[in-house]
Amino acid sequence: MFKSSKFVSRSLIGAVGLSASAIAFLGSPNTAKAADLDKGFDYFLTFGDGTSSIILPGIGIVDLVGTPFDPELSEADTKLERLEDCTFVDDTCTVPLLIHELNLQSTEVVDLSPYGLDPSVVLIRLYGPQETGYITIDQSTNSWWANLPVVADARLPDNTQIVAPDYGPLVFVGTAEGAELVGSGTYTNLDPFDAEGVFFGPIIEDSSLDKPYYQEVHAMTPLAPPVTSVPEPSSIIPLGFLGLAGLSKLKKQYFKAG
């Protein structure tokens, strides 16, 4: 999953009435079925409880925890987007899936001496454009599975990319064709879609490991979509009356001046 000249491992989802013709169209058996799940964004939280990790070559397994990518908006550290509406056929549907945010870091300071660096917390962030994968949802079992391409890198807290001797920049590369970052899990509700589960990268061998292990493991817990603040209807109406009152006053002044 780390990509360099010497080490490559791919890894890493307004009208009030209706006319007669419109009513007839709505009653037609050929009318398209409404989506069972509208396209949209899903937000997740990554706990630092040992269920998420990454392998740094020559160092070993590093446990990860999420940090909010927008603390003022949400606690979420991971943001995915289902790019199309989902309409079930035989209890399943498959739609494109894209990752927009990935904000993870090591749960503890990591000994980076094999890279000639001081001990430090390691950040995992998205790197460059992301490919589109897919997610399949099965409403008969309330389950899902997905292929999620991800390109991410390892960084220091000052956002500097980690460059390791013999490995080069520590860039994680997962492609749609490789289908090497796969996930599965369950959900309780479709609206909002509260999927939870885990993604696994490929099993690899490394000098730091006693036995082969997953290059990446990312367990995610769903969060409710963030709610942006909007004026309450009770406050909008008085503001509207104030606006009309102001306009009326201006009109009176204008005609008086004339």
Determine, yes or no, domain membership for 28.
yes
Q: How many domains does the chain have?
A: 2
Q: Which of 31-40, 68-77, 142-151, 244-253 has the weakest average pLDDT?
A: 244-253
Give residue-wise pLDDT tens across range 89-142: 999 999 999 999 999 999 999 999 999 999 999 999 999 999 999 999 999 999
Write down the residue that tokens 């509700």 correspond to: 189
Determine, yes or no, domain membership for 182.
yes
Determine, yes or no, domain membership for 12.
no
- 210 shares its domain with 244: no
- 51 shares its domain with 109: yes
- Reply yes or no on whether the pLDDT at 9 is more than 80: no
How long a stretch of residues is the chain? 258
Task: State how far the alpha carbon of 35 is from the alpha carbons of 26, 87, 134, 191, in Å.
Answer: 16, 5, 17, 12
Structural domain including 119 reads 20-227
- 244 shares its domain with 223: no
Peptide bond into 192 cis (omega under 30): yes
Determine, yes or no, domain membership for 15.
no
Q: Strands 182-186, 143-147: parallel, antiparallel or unpaired by DSSP? A: antiparallel
Give residue-wise pLDDT tens across range 188-245: 999 889 999 999 988 889 999 999 999 999 999 999 988 865 544 444 444 343 343 4
With cut-offs at 50, 70 and 90, classify the pLDDT of residue 180: low
Are the C-beta atoms of 12 and 147 separated by less than 8 Å?
no
Determine, yes or no, domain membership for 4.
no
- 173 shares its domain with 258: no
Element (H, E) at 257: helix 233-257
Give me 44's structure tokens. 């997740």
- 30 shares its domain with 58: yes
- 162 shares its domain with 206: yes
Q: Which of 61-65, 172-176, 237-241 has the highest mean pLDDT?
A: 61-65
> What letters, b where the CB count within 10 A reaches 16 and e where it falls short, cover 60-75?
bbbbbbbeebeeeebe
Q: What is the 8-class DSSP label of residue 134?
A: E
Q: Closest Cα partner for 60 from 213, 172, 180?
A: 213
CA gap 193, 69 in Å, rounded: 20
